[in-house]
Structure 1
Amino acid sequence: MFGVHDFLLFVLSGLLLNITPGQDVFYVVSRGASHGWKMGSVAALGVCTGCFVHVFAAALGLSAILATSAMAFTVVKFVGAAYLIWVGISMWRKNGSGNGGETDEFFRVKASKVYAQGFWTNALNPKVALFFMAFLPQFVTVDAPNKPLAFLLLGMVFTCTGTLVNLTYAWSAARVSAKLGKNGSFGTWAKRAAGTLFVGLGIRLAMSDSVG
């Protein structure tokens, strides 16, 4: 159907990959721990939207540009690295509430920023685009009547399962923070730890090899 084969294997493989911690998970966990499950959920939805950028790019063949053009990959890589470092530094500069539950006013004021950061954290990662180009074709039949549609179907399934996993991470982080961080120290520690990690991820991305 839709030119897709081994669909259940794809879903299982996708779940295992989603569970593996990466910069998206670290961002969601840091927001859940420092601002509660609602803000962690907003971060997860931002990551989800950023992932759709790569899904549509893969379906349209745009990701192939990053896979074949060293210049395009390098430009996106350094922009993404700079953004990760900036997010990491901003996490250090601002303290979170750390109590696992935010006020409605705080949620309204900050949600758009958290959502946008989640979006750009994923969308500006060229290696996510390359991952989709390498992973999705393995489950598309050679004689698929509409390959872009098959890419869209698989990409959306992968993104949806990933969002469910991230929402679970957000809820878990908020629960742990609520139990261990009554005075706000746990949320602040989690946010600063994530900030340090993001700076490291940004430096690592900037120093990684380009298209080879």
Structure 2
Amino acid sequence: MDFHYWLIFVATVLGVSLIPGPSTFIAFAHGATNGSGLTTFTALGNATASTLQAIAASAGLGLIITSSALLFMAIKYAGAVYLVYVGIQIWRSAAQGLPPGSHDTRQSRPKQLFMGGFSVAISNPKAIAFFTALFPQFLSATGNSTTQLAIMVVLVACCAFAVAFFYGCLGTWVRGLELSKTLMSRVHQATGGMFVASGIGLALSKND
């Protein structure tokens, strides 16, 4: 595949990833709470989940999931419930005047941030469906398909990390504005509300 096709592929993945959603919300919340340094672990969690989803799509598991209505619906509703749960937790933390994850020790915080980014990203079954539909569009018949898919998976991981880290830095920037405690609480409440809305939206969305 020519270089300009790889650029189009990266632009497509970045364009979709930059659209605000659960993964960007959690990165923003972690950035606002912990700073961009620790949010690197959130970005790594997001990238790991995206990599696994891309590998699943490359291996054909995406076709199995999208062709099985029962399996897809089970994953979909489990993900929706988890997003609502995360939103409620963030909202409650803000209401108590505590940032999400503030009860964690410094030693365990990186793991908590990683798992937060990973869990939110992996809970979206539509990512596998997206990769399943996207990858064939950029496969070249003249090249080695395995190599091309491997490159796509690596690029997906890099894009997922970059986007999550960008939103984490955005959250860090908001924290750097030294907003009042009340206003920062409103920011976290709004983030929690977006998680709940995302979960409900996922549950009510159609499967096509």
Same-fold call, TM cutoff 0.5: yes
For the Cα contact (< 8 Å) 2:42–2:116, is it kept in 1? yes
How far is 1:79 from its partner? 0.9
Counterpart position of 1:92? 91
Distance of 1:32 and 1:189 partners within structure 2: 15
Correspondences of 1:199-210 after superposition (within 5 Å):
199-210=196-207
Counterpart position of 2:56? 57
Distance of 2:16 and 2:184 partners within structure 1: 26
Please identify, of 128-137 and 155-164, the stretch whose mean Cα deviation from structure 2 is larger: 155-164
Amino acid corresponding to residue 134 of structure 1 in structure 2: A
* Count of aligned positions: 204
Identity %: 29
Counterpart position of 1:161? 159
Point out where structure 2 has 5 or more consecutive residues left out of the alignment: none
Amino acid corresponding to residue 205 of structure 1 in structure 2: L
Alignment deviations for residues 57-80 of structure 1 (CA, whole Å, 9 cap, x no partner): 012111111221101100100111
Amino acid corresponding to residue 91 of structure 1 in structure 2: I
Counterpart position of 2:174? 176
Please identify, of 5-14 and 127-136, the stretch whose mean Cα deviation from structure 2 is larger: 5-14
Distance of 2:86 and 2:73 partners within structure 1: 20
For the Cα contact (< 8 Å) 2:46–2:160, is it kept in 1? no
For the Cα contact (< 8 Å) 1:55–1:156, is it kept in 2? no
Distance of 1:154 and 1:165 partners within structure 2: 16
How far is 1:13 from its partner? 2.2
For the Cα contact (< 8 Å) 1:4–1:150, is it kept in 2? no
Distance of 2:98 and 2:181 partners within structure 1: 6
Amino acid corresponding to residue 53 of structure 2 in structure 1: H
Matched, 1:23 2:10: no
Counterpart position of 1:135? 134
Superposed CA RMSD in Å reads: 2.5
- What TM-score, normalized by structure 2, do the two folds share? 0.86
Amino acid corresponding to residue 199 of structure 2 in structure 1: G
Alignment deviations for residues 131-178 of structure 1 (CA, whole Å, 9 cap, x no partner): 101112111123543x34422211220220231122122112212212
Counterpart position of 1:123? 122
Counterpart position of 1:191? 188
Distance of 2:162 and 2:44 partners within structure 1: 10
Shift in CA distance, 6/176, structure 1 to aligned 2, threshold 3 Å? same
Counterpart position of 2:79? 80
- What TM-score, normalized by structure 1, do the two folds share? 0.85
Distance of 2:182 and 2:30 partners within structure 1: 14
SS in 2 for 1:135: helix
